[in-house]
């Protein structure tokens, strides 16, 4: 199998949305997906672009994606890359596709002098945790993710 990693381009919205939905189904969160092809297009290719996507193709077929954005560490005084989503379709797993997507992001982070590459993983997702650990990634000890959304976000914004 040969595969290639490329930046997403206009026209990829349907495949990116399919990846998002497949990831959400795997994570048992499909009912939380409200993204549409239009919202994906606006986020990735609109005038106010703040998010990026790399697509892995295996033998010319969409195999996986990495959706990411830049963040900033005040402690390091450097930008970093936050990997929002990484997904490889089941039939392509174990063939180096996920590693290639992460290798590309790591290379970008090093080339751009970013201080880190980070992401979150569900605590029950043992296969992904084992994969990340095999690459040298470690959990950020003592940190827990907090989130405001929906009504709690609107209430605080008032």
132 is catalytic: yes
Task: Kindly report the number of other CB atoms within 10 A of residue 130's CB atom.
Answer: 9
Catalytic residue of the set 3, 70, 82, 132: 132
If DSSP states are collapsed to H, E and C, what string results for the chain? Answer: CCEEEEECCCCCHHHHHHHHHHHHHHCCCHHHCCCCHHHHHHHHHCCCCCCEEEEEEECCEEEEEEEEEEEEECCCCEEEEEEEEEEECHHHCCCCHHHHHHHHHHHHHHHCCCCCEEECCCCCCHHHHHHHHHCCCCCCCCCCCCCCCHHHHHHHHC
* Residues labelled as active-site residues: 132
């Amino acid at each position: 199998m040969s595969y290639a990693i490329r930046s997403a381009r206009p026209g990829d919205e349907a495949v990116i949305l399919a990846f998002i939905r497949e990831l959400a189904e795997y994570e048992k969160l499909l009912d939380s997906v409200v993204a549409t092809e239009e919202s994906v297009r606006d986020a990735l290719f609109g005038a106010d672009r703040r998010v990026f996507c790399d697509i892995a193709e295996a033998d010319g077929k969409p195999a996986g994606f990495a959706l990411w954005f830049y963040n900033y560490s005040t402690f390091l005084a450097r930008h970093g890359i936050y990997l929002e989503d990484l997904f490889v379709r089941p039939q392509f797993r174990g063939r180096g596709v996920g590693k290639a997507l992460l290798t590309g992001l790591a290379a970008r982070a090093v080339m751009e002098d970013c201080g880190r590459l980070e992401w979150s993983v569900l605590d029950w997702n043992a296969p992904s945790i084992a994969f990340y650990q095999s690459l040298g990634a470690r959990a950020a000890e003592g940190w827990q993710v907090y989130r405001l959304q929906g009504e709690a976000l609107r209430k605080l914004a008032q």
